[in-house]
Amino acid sequence: ALPISPHHSHLKSFFRPVAMASGGLVCGDVCVGITWDIANQALTFSGGLWGGLFGLGLCIAITSLTSNVDSWREALDITIARSNSSKTFLIIRFVCALVQTGYFALRTYTKSLSPLGFVIEILSALWSFCVLLPRWGAAHVQGPVAGFKFMLGGNAIADSLLIGCTVALPIAAVEGTKSWFAPSWLGALHLMDSWDKLMKVYKVNLELPKNQLSDAIVRTLIQTYFMGMMMLTFENLGDPELLKPFVQEKWNTVSSIYFILTSVCTVGYGDLAPATSLGRICTVVAIFGGIAWLASVSYRIMQILAVNKSGGGFFEPILHSKYIVVLGNPTAHMLRNFILEVFHPDHAEDADDLHMSVILPKASSAMEQLSEWLKLPENIRIYPRVHLFSGTALEEKDLNRVTISAATCVFVMPDFLCSNVMQEDTENIIRLMSVQRLVPKVRMILLLLRAENRQLLMQAHMDADITTVAYDQFKLEMAGKSCQVHGFAPLVSNLCKSIAIDEDEEDDGPEIKPQWKKDFERGAGLEVYEVELSPVYADREATFIEVVVDIIEQTGGLVYLIGLVEMRQESKRVLINPGPNYKIKKAIGAMKVMGVFLAADREAIMQCDVGMVFLGRRERASATDEGEGGGAEDGDVEVEQSNSKGPRAMTNAKDTLAELAHIQMKPEHKEAAMNLARVVRQHQRALKPKRPPLKTLAVGGHVIVLAVGTESTEDLRLGIEYFVKPLRQNVNPEEMLPVVVMSAIQPRDWFNVELADQVYFMQGSPTSLMDLERVNFSGASAIFISHSGSGRGDGGTQESWAVDFEVICCTRLVESQLPAGSSTVVVSDIVVDSNHPFLPLPGQYGGQGDKQSRRRGLRASLAGGLDLKNSLASVTGRSSGAGVSGAKKQEEYFIQPRFAAGRLFAGGTTFTSLAANTFYNPTLIDLVSTMITTQITMVRLPPAWEGKSYFELFDHLLWKQKLLAVGIYRHADMSLGGESGGGMQQSNAGTGRVSRLQVESGSTKRSIRMGFVYTAPPGKETAMLPGDLVICFQALQDA
């Protein structure tokens, strides 16, 4: 034991509250020092604790391999995440570790241990055990390998020593005398760990010099204390009996290694020195060679750490596991949405062994932003599965670093905010070609910004083997269909995106969730599932309508069958509502018949199996009934059907070009000349697009497309043909809605619609009230506002919210000028979904319809737009990494009233979710495309059906009208309090009475009626209300 210095005797007397005999709980001031006799007894306790944890953990790890422990894993992960993000918990942990280490330093002088000191020690040890326990459990539920790694590292050994030796203090003794020593200096590890987490929780900016200096001082003090106390312990213990034979002589193995290392590290304590000439020569050689070797090794280690931190390194997935590789140059926001969708809890079973590697260009700013976001506590389940790399798909070595040969699927993703769309698509196609050259059989999904760039794949003969989806086509077809069918956008968007809604949430807070929100969220929580149909249906020769009814009966009206997918070896056929009498085919050989279901989860889908009662059988309607739709009964529904015989072409017949008929040339040359002349004439007409006739604008009812952000775009291509296509399908000429496009510059691709009926172009600024009045925007039936220009990115430094700034301002301007009660539907498309709070609710501006109030609305709109730029940046925090890590939590866009009403379309997020879910459901893109092209009918509910169940109406429409209902467009009253997220109140919940627009006396709050989509409501629990519109898919004519 160390002798007590006379200079420190006053410390011993001061901190000795009571002099204790050696037979007490602790040694008091009569203590044994640091000896191996005491240490061996304490190590027995520590080893027993470590062994017990190891054995119990091994049992848990084996259980995790044979049983479902997902609930344990989730509970432990949540506990760890909360403790790592709790300021109170971390402060208590820091203070406990500080007291523990400080008291140990004091005991090294006093050589005593009082009862109060023992209480401090045992409480600190107990706290360390509480910190260790959830981490120990979380490691072992991952499996034996993870548990073994944790027990050999991760502070498990240090905590076992600390806790075991502390518990041994009142027990371990030498000749009846106990010791004051326990390795409490190991608490410095908790001190350092809690300090690191406190820096993150308090979001200390370590880029500031004063914060850097403070952090460096604290870390240096902790590390110095730890190493110093470790040296004190080992030097006082002396050599154990095992090592004593090796130190009998001055120069032995241990001392020689010690001498070489201290010399090479240029320390040279001087306690050892060579005395022979050969030894001195060897020392010189060792020093020069050792210093060079040490510098080389240090440099390599630093280089390896720097490379791994900046996206280098390697990753090799587990054999036969699912593995996704993401290439391209996507933004951090797009990658975040993609990762969240892939690892959504709804996909927990399918993604159980899934890992993802992302290769980003070296100049990409998304690397650092995404890395910081992944480290957030809420992403604790995702972080170990996502691996970020810096490189390029054009280098084979970079593809080999991520083990591209083991990939299950490769995604190539674009940058929505790029300045050159053509270049972005071309680069991604080249990346795809590079991957296909290396692994030609891997599944590939390519996301393009423009559909017209698919021709590049066709030229390379790659289009047949690659799944492609184009952003402009998807967005514009969805928007066009939404202008025709209100509520179509949220209905399909929610089916593309996985949404977890807590149905058990109680309304015990200050704000009670309105009924409309409960209904909408319930429908939003449904997803599209593709499940193989039971062979019983084909054996019974069941028709599609009978299978639909059987599944509804089997599930109590919670699951709906909306279509079929007939898959053969080389082809597949997607059918949405193939017709009531369409017979289910037998799955023979390579053919499979899959059902397209709307359900909350896959487990909810129940089908008729062998030995079960088939509940869908019903007497089939006669041919007359089928043709007449069941006859005109009392209370029959009013179906808005078109009388067209089939899809209507969007373009007229080819030009005859009679002036070329007299030219004498070979037939093949003449045909080429005719085609060339047609193209030239079409191009000439496209240079002067048709302007809308004054009568068309005056009559109103037209659809307006406002393309903002086009002023700085040199090569503007709108792809407006995709918007027009769903508006022209199955529509009679007299029912055709005129389409007016307004943009600051004329689009280069207008030739695609220059022959289309009633499609017009008006050059002007969508953010100018004068130009808006030129197209009679207040008389339009629908207005679609979208950013159609480049992302205005400049090397990745442009803030991502800027792409939606003009859309938000234009929306505010348009809606501020619409009179109260206007039937004009304004649909706004945003790329960054977190910008949705800045879009107003319809009726928020304007209000009374007179010019004076509308001017006030305009001033309010413009005033809001003046500071919108700053507020977008501050609230969303989307500029430099905060967009994915530090933003204040806000309501998601998909439960916002504007989205529920079908007036908000988050095209970028929905497109990303569609691509991500394609990994789990390869037919999803074809399903969505078929839904867009299928004719949809809105059925108005007659008074006779009010109060009846949704299932009764569903059954009637299916059998009598051949219509497959998929949801309800219902109206509700929403109170406007000046915010975009105002709450709606159900307009007629339970009573069947419709509320009117009202203004509360003595209050500025107003109520306005808005619609929302209730997707596939529970058939037997949902009552039909006055004013409901039922969204139905019409039966295919040629199925």
Cβ distance 738 to 760 under 8 Å? yes
> Which pLDDT value is given to residue 464?
63
Q: Which residue has the tokens 């996502």?
A: 386
3-state secondary structure of 543: strand
> For residue 425, which of 564, 520, 567, 328 has the smallest C-alpha distance?
328
- Residue 692 per-residue DSSP state: P
> Which pLDDT value is given to residue 242?
75
Cβ distance 830 to 801 under 8 Å? no
Cβ distance 344 to 500 under 8 Å? yes
Instruction: Give the C-alpha separation, 112 to 5, whole Å.
Output: 14
- Give Cα 480 to chain centroid, integer Å: 26
DSSP-derived pairing of the beta strands 443-448 and 467-470: parallel
> Would you state the structure tokens that stand for residue 337, as one six-digit string?
């949405």
* Amino acid type, 164: G
Q: Which residue has the tokens 């070797």?
A: 293
> Which pLDDT value is given to residue 205?
77
Q: Which residue has the tokens 């009498």?
A: 581
> Which pLDDT value is given to residue 739?
93
> Which pLDDT value is given to residue 621?
44
> Would you state the structure tokens that stand for residue 8, as one six-digit string?
């420190």
Cβ distance 810 to 873 under 8 Å? no
The radius of gyration of the chain's CA atoms, rounded to the nearest angstrom, is: 36
* DSSP H or E segment with residue 776: none
> Which pLDDT value is given to residue 633?
46
* DSSP H or E segment with residue 198: helix 187-201
Helix-, strand-, coil-residue percentages of the chain, each rounded to 5: 50, 15, 40
Q: In 649-749, which ranges are E strands?
A: 703-708, 739-743
> Which pLDDT value is given to residue 1007?
66
- Residue 583 per-residue DSSP state: B
> Which pLDDT value is given to residue 155?
78
Distances (CA, A) of 436 to 18, 192, 315, 392, 470: 80, 48, 20, 14, 20
Cβ distance 881 to 368 under 8 Å? yes
> Would you state the structure tokens that stand for residue 768, as one six-digit string?
């100018």
Which residues, 6+ apart, have CB-to-CB distance to 510 below 8 Å? none
Instruction: Give the C-alpha separation, 1005 to 847, whole Å.
Output: 12
> Which pLDDT value is given to residue 417?
83
> Which pLDDT value is given to residue 409?
93
3-state secondary structure of 467: strand
Instruction: Give the C-alpha separation, 529 to 598, whole Å.
Output: 6
> Which pLDDT value is given to residue 702?
92
Cβ distance 322 to 356 under 8 Å? no
**Which long-range contacts (C-beta less than 8 Å, at least 24 apart) are formed by 465-468?**
465/436, 466/432, 466/436, 467/443, 467/918, 467/922, 467/925
> Which pLDDT value is given to residue 878?
40
> Which pLDDT value is given to residue 511?
58
Q: Which residue has the tokens 């529920």?
A: 900
Distances (CA, A) of 639 to 241, 309, 355, 962: 96, 62, 49, 11
Cβ distance 390 to 311 under 8 Å? yes
Instruction: Give the C-alpha separation, 497 to 487, whole Å.
Output: 16
DSSP-derived pairing of the beta strands 1029-1034 and 1006-1015: unpaired
> Would you state the structure tokens that stand for residue 107, as one six-digit string?
């005991």
Q: Give me the sign of the Cα torsion angle 892, 896, 901, 903.
A: negative
Give pLDDT < 70 ranges for the chain: 1-23, 154, 207, 246-249, 252-253, 303-312, 459-464, 500-511, 617-665, 668, 670, 790-801, 842-890, 974-1007, 1037-1039
For 468, list phi and psi in degrees, rounded to 5.
-120, 145
> Which pLDDT value is given to residue 95?
92
* DSSP H or E segment with residue 443: strand 443-448
3-state secondary structure of 1005: coil
Tell me the Ramachandran region of residue 478: left when phi exceeds 0, alpha when psi lies from -120 to 50, beta otherwise: alpha
This prediction's pTM = 0.71
Which residues, 6+ apart, have CB-to-CB distance to 730 below 8 Å? 642, 644, 646, 647, 648, 935
